[in-house]
Amino acid sequence: MIKVENLHKYFDKLEVLKGIDYEIQQSEVVCVIGPSGSGKSTFLRCLNMLEEVTDGAVYIDGVKINDPKTNINEIRAEVGMVFQQFNLFPHMSVLDNITMAPMQIRKLNKKDAEALALELLDKVGLRTKAYSYPQQLSGGQQQRVAIARALAMKPKIMLFDEPTSALDPEMVNEVLDVMKQLAKEGMTMVVVTHEMGFAREMGDRVLFMDGGYIVEEGHPDQVFGNPQNERTKAFLGKVL
Amino acid sequence: MDFLDFFRWDIIWNYREMYLQGILATIILTLSGYVGGVIFGLFLGLGQVSKNKLIYLPCKIYVDIFRGTPMLVQLLLIHLALIPTIFGSSQGWWVSGILGLILNSAAYNAEIFRAGIQSIDKGQMEAARSLGLTNGQAMRKVILPQAFRRMIPPLGNEFIALLKDSSLVTIIAGAEILYVSKVVAGTYQRFWEPYLFAAFLYLVLTYAVTKLIAFIEKRVSIEYNPRKKREGRVE
């Protein structure tokens, strides 16, 4: 479903990703962990070209997305993304936040788009907030709306960029619960996270990044229970 | 000396029709200059936030030139050099005046648009693009609606500045308010009355515009206030 080959990313002269090779199958939940500045968010953002790829290739469903001939907007419509800072559109109601992209891109009419949005709001437990505005919601509620907004495009893949890092502790679980539900439904997910509990419980695979490399990867039981690499051990020793 | 006898307001009254035309000319000059300047300025502003150097650089150079030189000089160049060169002869002060105001105010409006667009958090653009929206769709649906609300106060200031700057058109014999006062002053060799009256007219106009802008700002902020909109409408 996702294939990354020899991915390099520079910010000016700073090399942030130093050759990443990885493959993610359909319905897999891959959790990316690692210290700050290890390149994990950059890696995630290369998967929908929010960051331009300096060298190497990223394939989504067999299509090379960093090819100038590829229409990146069509790819992005199939790849949902959830941000650390939610990034809801403050000038739109919750409902409009969710219906905007399906109406613009999928050409849904207003009625169908709103029916879809309400269905998704049901799923994230926020149907009563349909006519609220983002600034009236708590962080956890905003992030659940952001998930619903991404799901409204019916994506094949969902990318999560530290979705709970900006939340107050008591709101983390309501967001993780929605993500767990998605994982159980078979969504292909790539999750950059500091929630080791979630990675351990829900991850099919865990990927530990440091210094622009994938240092270690494997089943969570193995990465968390019996890490092989010294850097992985040091990192897990600090966070667990 | 009797204060009331010092001023001879009757000379203003004698020129009332010309003043009326002058006021009308000032309003038309300002409005057309502003509308043209906003439209042209929007494109220049969008150009300035483009990543493409071939778009971004010309826009930036244009803005720098028109903001960095006096409008008086621009008006003279347009009226006496540019238009005669292009058309073979002068096209009158209306054409030169309106064109000058458009070109100048576009540069200032471009800066307002650029700053407004860049003031929107970049996460907004990323969220819109991540959903599959094109750059243009994201601008129209997400960035500009938020940016416009922030631009209303500076755009209002620019309108007032342009209203006052329209008096510069007098240098190319544009028959607006100041020009009429100059005629009156020349005819009667009296200076207090015509120039005070011109100042008074500009003050009335700018004051009216200030009130109008405050009204618009208030309206937009009510629309933006979710508590007042769709109150209690929950399904």
In sequence order, the β-bridge partners of residue A18 are A8
Contact A77 B132 (CB under 8 A): yes
User: Which of A80, A87, A130 lies at the smallest CB-CB distance from B124?
Assistant: A87
Contact B234 A131 (CB under 8 A): yes
Nearest-Cα residue of chain A relative to residue B230? A131
Give the best residue of B124, B131, B137, B148 to mutate against chain A (max A CB count within 10 A).
Answer: B131
- A-chain residues near B141 (CB < 8 A): 100, 104
Each residue of A166-225: pLDDT tens digit? 999 999 999 999 999 999 999 999 999 999 999 999 999 999 999 999 999 999 999 999
Residue B34, SS3 per DSSP: helix
The answer to whether the Cα torsion of A127, A130, A131, A134 is positive or negative is: positive
The pLDDT value given to residue B2: 62
Check pLDDT > 90 for residue A104.
yes
Each residue of B116-135: pLDDT tens digit? 999 999 999 999 999 999 99
Give the best residue of B51, B125, B130 to mutate against chain A (max A CB count within 10 A).
Answer: B130
User: Which of A50, A73, A153 lies at the smallest CB-CB distance from B134?
Assistant: A73
Nearest-Cα residue of chain A relative to residue B137? A104
Q: How far is B151 from chain A (nearest CA, A)?
A: 15
For the domain that residue B45 is a member of, what is the CATH number? 1.10.3720.10
What tokens appear for B157 in the block? 């200031």
Nearest-Cα residue of chain A relative to residue B148? A91
User: Which of A48, A85, A133 lies at the smallest CB-CB distance from B123?
Assistant: A85
Q: Which domain holds residue B220?
A: 2-234
* Number of domains comprising chain B: 1
Contact B123 A83 (CB under 8 A): yes
The pLDDT value given to residue B234: 40
Compute the average pLDDT of residues A94-116: 97
Share of chain B above pLDDT 90, in %: 85
Would you place residue B231 in the very low, low, confident or very high pLDDT band (cuts 50, 70, 90)?
very low
Contact B121 A81 (CB under 8 A): no
Q: What is the pTM of this model?
A: 0.84
What tokens appear for B200 in the block? 């008074």
Burial degree of A69 (CB within 10 A; 0-12, 13-18, 19+): exposed
- A-chain residues near B224 (CB < 8 A): 91
Give the best residue of A48, A75, A85, A87 to mutate against chain B (max B CB count within 10 A).
Answer: A87
Check pLDDT > 50 for residue B230.
no
Each residue of B19-70: pLDDT tens digit? 999 999 999 999 999 999 999 999 999 999 999 999 999 999 999 999 999 9
What tokens appear for A16 in the block? 């942030």
Sequence-distant (≥ 6) Cβ neighbours of residue B69 within 8 angstroms: none
Half-sphere exposure of B14 (CA within 13 A, CB side): 12
